[in-house]
Structure 1
Amino acid sequence: MRVLIVDDHEEVRDLLVRSLRREGHEVLAAATAGEARARFAAGALDVVVLDVALPDGSGIDLCSELRQSGVSTPVLLLTAHAAVPERVAGLDAGADDFLGKPFAVSELRARVRALGRRGPAMRPMETRCGDALLDFRARRAERAGVEVPLTAREWSLLELLAARSGRFVSRGEILELVWGAEVEATASLEVLVARIRRKLGEGVLRTMRGHGYALAVD
């Protein structure tokens, strides 16, 4: 696999480069967001390991920028240990996974392998569910031709379900990926689902009792 490491700490960057190269990966490195953009322009990548704190900007903002430009390469964010709001912001920006600092290099290698096996996420640009139209690139929702405002967390849930192409996603996975941790948020999830149905129509989400939810894509 072709892996890009983006981290401004030279020791961490060099450690990860050496470790991943020993596994047989082709590994590129960047210390800034600007260097990372140049690496993307130079050729296709299979996985990106991206630190949140960069000297010339936020890794979260860079991830969002890549997603808005249509880049679907899996992104593993390196975040401050136990910084749940930061991890949630990263997932909202389009990151595929996160790992808190400090971390075990063996776990990072395993996560990189898993993302590589998964491949680029199929992130639909638009999805229609009945009379609701979801434009994920512009983050614009319409119902019967009328624009409907959605919150960042509502978009996060809809993007997660849309990426699964109508398959059911368990409550536990939704809590992990949308809230950033498997907290006691079951009631909050049900409120979120009810709010989306109220805005976009009862049929936009399907429920599997005791398991989870799916997007009712046309």
Structure 2
Amino acid sequence: MSDRCLLIVDDDPEIASALARGLALHGYETVTENRADLARAHFRNQRFSGAIVDVMLGNDNGLDLVREARSNGVTLPILVLSALADVEHRAKGLEAGADDYVVKPFSFDELVARLRVQERRAPVARPDPALMCDETRSLRHAQGELVLTEREYELLSLLAERPDTPHSRNMIFDALWAKEGAGNENVVDVYIGYLRKKLAPLNFGFEIKTVRHKGFCLSGLAPRRPPSALRN
């Protein structure tokens, strides 16, 4: 899922489809649902840049969905769509937790403009770093879990001690292989390759970067050990 993915909640398939097509032209991915219960699952389990919720959802009320999402800590921008234009209904929409109230029929350009205003106002969430578990030699993140070999884990730990600082091949070799009488520094490149290949399928928020003439370093949000591990 991209960082510009919107949740559309509307029980009218034609409107939902039109919204999805129009938003795609403005660079958005969309997920559409026509029932409040299905939308609740998305609010709990997925990350979106915003949501567009119709007030009338069959037997459900979109405002109840918005109110529940806010009570559960959902902070993403939510726009409410409604054919009810009077001040009383607008006020109810905003009181339920909607960031904006858009009246049908609406101009699509206006809808996108209102959406972008709310996106600019939304706080930028700082992603959590991946966690390193010494006991299982694993790397854990919302994206998943990766179990490493003993030497791969030692290599990642060494790089994570000083992220963004290049570690030369000689430095890495001396720390991890020299005491065992390993042949030469080429083993460093081999294990860097192993580690990169294992990290590639999942986005852990960092990558192993090659710094020309200087060695290797972690670039991005470096993994860390949990506080309990640091206290021990």
TM-score w.r.t. length of structure 2: 0.50
Rg: which structure is higher?
A: 2
What 5-or-longer segments of structure 2 have no aligned partner?
126-232
Q: 1:111 deviation in Å?
A: 1.2
Change (3 A) 1:60 1:4: same
Change (3 A) 1:94 1:121: farther
Which residue of 1 is the match for residue 114 of structure 2? Answer: 111
Structural mapping, 1:139-154, within 5 Å:
none
What 5-or-longer segments of structure 1 have no aligned partner?
123-218
> Are 2:101 and 1:83 aligned?
no
Quick one: distance in 2 between partners of 1:121 and 1:65? Answer: 22
Asked if 2 retains the 8 angstrom alpha-carbon contact of 1:73 and 1:121, the reply is no
Q: Among residues 6, 9, 30, which one is paired with 1:6 in the alignment?
A: 9
Asked if 1 retains the 8 angstrom alpha-carbon contact of 2:43 and 2:74, the reply is no
Structural mapping, 1:94-133, within 5 Å:
94-120=97-123
Could you list the per-position Cα deviations for residues 129-177 of structure 1 after superposition, in whole angstroms to 9, with x for gaps in the alignment?
xxxxxxxxxxxxxxxxxxxxxxxxxxxxxxxxxxxxxxxxxxxxxxxxx
Q: 1:56 deviation in Å?
A: 3.6
Quick one: distance in 2 between partners of 1:121 and 1:20? Answer: 22
Asked if 2 retains the 8 angstrom alpha-carbon contact of 1:74 and 1:121, the reply is no
1:33 partner letter: A
Change (3 A) 1:81 1:103: farther
Q: 1:92 deviation in Å?
A: 0.9
Could you list the per-position Cα deviations for residues 58-117 of structure 1 after superposition, in whole angstroms to 9, with x for gaps in the alignment?
111111111111111111011224232111111111111010011111111111122122
2:19 partner letter: L
2:83 partner letter: A
Which residue of 2 is the match for residue 15 of structure 1? Answer: 18
Residues paired across the two proteins, number: 122
RMSD of aligned alpha carbons: 1.8
> Are 2:70 and 1:67 aligned?
yes
1:106 partner letter: D
Structural mapping, 1:167-206, within 5 Å:
none
Give the ranges of 4+ consecutive aligned residues of structure 1 lying more than 3 Å apart after TM superposition: none
Structural mapping, 1:35-50, within 5 Å:
35-50=38-53
TM-score w.r.t. length of structure 1: 0.53
